[in-house]
Structure 1
Amino acid sequence: MTTPLLSPRPSQLDRTAFVAHYGDVYEHSPWVAEGAWERGLTEAHDSPAGLASAMAAVLSEASPEQQLAVIRAHPDLAGKAAVAGDLTDDSTLEQAGAGLDQCTPEELARFERLNDAYKKRFEFPFVMAVKGNDRHTILAAFESRLNNTPDDERRTAIDQINRIAQLRLEARAER
């Protein structure tokens, strides 16, 4: 089985074109793509895994303040932006794929309470790669992660954001 390649191929793009095509992989944070391009892209970065790894390295090596900015760029799960239809296309598809657009009023109220408690504790939104999960497993993860320390939760959120980016790149390669 051959590894799917991204189109257009990242290694063949100039900075402007690369950021135009891949700058939205990290929610409202095109600087991650800019950093990956500046480090140099080769044919190894033309696959979803290769580009995801390059972009994850940029975010992982960023300052805690830059990381927090990326975390804070993410919407609440099943939050007001989702209800109002104000999510990015990727976030809308991801949340719908996990059934978050089908929450009961009670589940929406639970998400709202957990979102509020989480943001009060950590000062950023709960972030989770929801693909392959449903609203019940997401709610369980939400409750569990409320017990993390702020530093552990920042690292967990960054890991989840890198996972989201990889899933987004894989979806683009499949189109």
Structure 2
Amino acid sequence: MAERLSLEAVNQQGYEEFIQNFTNIVEHGMLIAGAVWSYRPFRNLDHLHQCFCDFMDSLPAAGKQSILRCHPNLAGKLARRGQLTSESEQEQASAGLSSLTEEQFSQINKNNATYREKFSFPFVICARENKVASILQGLETRIQNSEELELQTGVEEVKKIVYYRLLDKIQDASSTNHPKL
């Protein structure tokens, strides 16, 4: 893991340095990091997290769908090829997705395809808060949702992912609460 940054150091970063350090807080989110940079100075980790969340909430549906489309399928082709971002690789491994049985892999692959076909974006869930069984259950349950509900649910899961990635990035994080999602 890279060296963690103090909030003071984050607030002093220029635009390019901030982008370099925060592009994958939201998966492949260079534009989001660029927008959030302008909200400096950040009072604490919760304020920084809220800035990311507020920006995502301000987007129209098409922008929110784009955020979800930047996420890889869980245990998908990119994972099998070793082409995930380091953040996604660690998160998927922590959920047990890097050591699936063939049956689990087949089930998750089938459900991922059904989900993506229905919604046109991948299933996103905060892997750090789940293990294989709950991910499989979540996929089966959420496939039944409306597109509007699933878009909202997916973005809320991204917000959880953002929270944990910020905890990894910021030292002495004075977070007062888990995201209210």
TM over 0.5: yes
Q: 1:43 to 1:120 in 2, by over 3 A?
A: closer
**One-letter code of the match for 2:72?**
P
Match of 1:137 in 2: 134
Residue in 1 that maps onto 2:41 = 42
Equivalent residue, structure 2, for 1:158: 155
The structure-2 alpha-carbon separation of the partners of 1:34 and 1:143, relative to structure 1 and needing over 3 Å to count, comes to same
Pick aligned residue for 2:109 from 106, 109, 112: 112
- Equivalent pair of 2:124/2:158 in contact (CA under 8 Å): yes
Runs of 4+ in 1 over 4 A off after TM superposition: none
TM-score under structure 2 length normalisation: 0.87
TM-score, normalization by structure 1: 0.90
Give the C-alpha shift of residue 21 in structure 1: 1.2
Alignment pair present for 1:98 and 2:59: no
Identity of aligned residues (%): 27
Cα deviation for residue 7 of structure 1 reads: 5.5
Which amino acid counterpart does residue 22 of structure 1 have in structure 2? F
Which consecutive residues of structure 2, in runs of 5 or more, have no partner in the other structure? 173-181
Change (3 A) 1:15 1:141: same
1:98-139 per-residue CA deviation (whole Å, 9 max, x = no partner) reads 000110000000011000110111011000001031100110
State the distance in 2 between where 1:6 and 1:60 align: 26
CA RMSD of aligned residues (A): 1.8
Farther-moved stretch of structure 1 (6-15 vs 123-132): 6-15
Q: Which has the higher contact order (CA 8 A, sep 6+)?
A: 2
Question: Residue 75 of structure 1: SS of its match in structure 2?
Answer: coil
Describe the superposition over 1:76-102 as per-residue Cα deviations: whole angstroms up to 9, x where unpaired. Answer: 001111111110000000000000011
Cα gap change, 1:6 to 1:52, in 2 (>3 Å) = farther
